[in-house]
Chains A and B, each alone.
Chain A
Amino acid sequence: MARKVRFVQGNEACVEGALYAGLSFYAGYPITPSTEIAELLAERLPARGGRFIQMEDEIASMCAIIGASLTGNKVMTATSGPGFSLKQEAIGYACMAEIPCVIVNVQRGGPSTGNPTHVGQGDINQARWGTHGDHNIIALTASNHQDVFAMTVEAFNMAETYRTPVVLLFDEVIGHMREKLLVPEPGELPLVERLRTSVPKDVDYHPYLPREDGRLPMSDFGGEHRYNVTGLYHDMWGFPTSNPKMVSELLRHLIDKIDNRVHEITRHKEHFLEGARYVLISYGASARSAIHLARERRARGERIGVIELQSLWPFPREMIREKCREVKAVLVVEMNMGQMLAQVRAAVADPEKVFLANRVDGKLIAPADIKQVLRVIQGRGV
């Protein structure tokens, strides 16, 4: 079967993935370096009978997609750091009310307005803890356009499966770089459609009463079941409650539905990992340089491998601990001051052997930057 070969930006690969997954509603606000996603969807969605709306701000965009998800649509918004900050309020709402939605953050340099047209990976912890209160969330990432497409499809699948917001954490380099994309044929990648209730009309439907498998079948707004949705702690009807037992049970449900399925949710790739004495752990654009370096050193007989994280949250603690058990040193390669480093150090048995190779000047971390740190660790000088 001849597959459609495209030469695209990462932002366009994300759009293709979203449309493949069945995106039918997008709301957004212009912000560099994610704007191409909005521009492309403004053109593509109406031609498919979908809806695109440019809202008055980032907050409203996040709220609008939650509203549209409730009527039965697969929904998405895209932004970058400053906009991601503004969306946190409504992301928390989607966590609490368990509304499937996808939020793309094409990262640039922060904090604040930061370094708008340059790359950064400083929003990793914000994706996990940006909104207030205990909660859980899924965050995925990718280092090349084929994976941007695949992980975007995964994001929609996971949003539906776990009834949760899913964050796609890309970065400026991935978003703007052009490379080849093979668009899969329909049916080639599995798609998860919304689980809708089988409760008949006029029978009391409990929107927040989990089935035995923990899943909550939904009913579209405008359909046959009328129920309440709120950001307050709620009972099985979705009505606000402060009953201590219900409050505690709901919070534990929100945490457990993801924490109990870490193996099912997390994704990673291994490059040259067999017998590796030194392991590079990286993700997004940084992983490209890490893989490049490992390939080059392997060719010279050095035993260096890469664990490329495709999911950042929930963090695959057990996998990292296991893979790093026998190695001499672990080098976390990222473009921030060590946000994943802290997770890796907490995961491994011997945190002293975990080091950081980073770059935070708006420039893509290069293989040479990583090599320099590696040489120091190996006691070979720079």
Chain B
Amino acid sequence: MAIQDYIRQRFFPHLWCPGCGHGIILNNLLHAVDELGLAKNDIVVTSGIGCSARISGYVDFHTLHTLHGRALAFATGVKLSRPELTLIVPMGDGDALAIGGNHFIHAARRNIDITAIVMNNRIYGMTGGQFSPLSGPGILATTAPYRTIDPNFDVVELARAAGATFVARSTTYHALETIDLLKRAISHKGFAVVEILTQCPTYYGRKNKEGEAAEMIERYKHITAKIGSKALEENPVLIPRGVFVEVRRPEYCEAYEEVIVRARQEVAA
């Protein structure tokens, strides 16, 4: 299918700023869905609040635009009640890991079959450029006029420790890699996390003198390297890209089917 067949053209133009990375991620996600051959009626996209969360309105799936930070909790209700559906949850960095941090780690712990996409632009964009728990120390934001002192989460390490069974990272520069990682994440049976570094030229870029959108995207080429690459070995301060975790562990909804079997046996006994 053509990519435009997956979007609700009625609701365009979208609200993202010129140069925003979220459109690239939307495009990558739709390519991944298309290449996997998934039916539109089988996909539920659940999102929270923020620039990233607006993805849900633009895609022609079942879409649930919820509350700030709560997308995974809503998605858990959808998934457990209809396990055959494919759940995709795009979130921003503040949405996923500040206000939504508790839901994030518990969805990972349960290993419920949901694909969580963390669109990490290290800033709250919709509210105008405040620092997030993924900003890290030393950046300028409207709520950090003297630079941030807050350390940041490492999404990959957090997801791994919390129990996610698929964890990957990419960037908006590496679009083809992103499509591949999203395909693997969506196909994975269990809680899958894909962190995608994405540029916010309007707030992050301008404040922190990272240049225009094109420069910001190109920067990802220089500050990241593939896991196992020579570049990463030679320069360990680079941010690794690729798949960090891919393991099998009982999936929550499948495990619940066994609870149903046990409950019925006990009632019958």
Given A47-B263, A222-B41; A63-B106 close (CB under 8 Å): no
How many residues of chain B are within 8 Å of chain A by beta carbon? 42
The winner among B42, B44, B64, B260 for most chain A CB atoms within 10 A is B64
Interface string of A95-133 (1 = CB under 8 A from B): 000000000000000000000000000000000000000
A149 within 8 A of B: no
Closest residue on chain A to residue B84 by CB atoms: A222
CA distance A221 to B103 in the complex (A): 22
What are the residues of chain B within 8 A of A239 when measuring CB–CB?
A: 8, 10-11, 57
- Pick the contact of B67: A224, A226, A227, A231 (CB < 8 A): A231
Size bracket of the A interface: 35 or more
A289 within 8 A of B: no
Assess the A93–B66 pair: CB atoms within 8 A: yes
B102 within 8 A of A: yes
A-contacting residues, B40-92, CB 8 Å: 40-42, 44, 46, 56-57, 60-67, 70, 73-82, 84-85
In the assembled complex, the CB of B158 is this many whole angstroms from the nearest CB of chain A, namely 15
B264 within 8 A of A: yes
B266 within 8 A of A: yes
B259 within 8 A of A: yes
A51 within 8 A of B: yes
In the assembled complex, the CB of A322 is this many whole angstroms from the nearest CB of chain B, namely 41
What are the residues of chain B within 8 A of A90 when measuring CB–CB?
A: 67, 70
A-B contacts counted at CB < 8 A amount to 132
A60 within 8 A of B: yes
In the assembled complex, the CB of B108 is this many whole angstroms from the nearest CB of chain A, namely 11
Closest residue on chain B to residue A25 by CB atoms: B81
A59 within 8 A of B: yes
What are the residues of chain A within 8 A of B57 when measuring CB–CB?
A: 228, 230, 239-240
CA distance A239 to B15 in the complex (A): 13
Closest residue on chain B to residue A224 by CB atoms: B41
CA distance A221 to B81 in the complex (A): 10
B→A interface (CB under 8 Å): 8, 10-11, 40-42, 44, 46, 56-57, 60-67, 70, 73-82, 84-85, 102-103, 106, 256, 259-260, 262-264, 266-267
23 A-B residue pairs with CB within 8 Å:
A25-B81, A46-B260, A51-B81, A53-B76, A55-B76, A55-B106, A56-B106, A60-B76, A60-B103, A66-B77, A67-B75, A70-B77, A71-B78, A71-B82, A93-B66, A221-B64, A221-B78, A222-B42, A222-B85, A224-B41, A227-B63, A228-B63, A230-B57
A→B interface (CB under 8 Å): 24-25, 27, 43, 46-47, 49, 51, 53, 55-57, 59-60, 63-73, 75, 89-90, 93, 221-224, 226-232, 237, 239-240
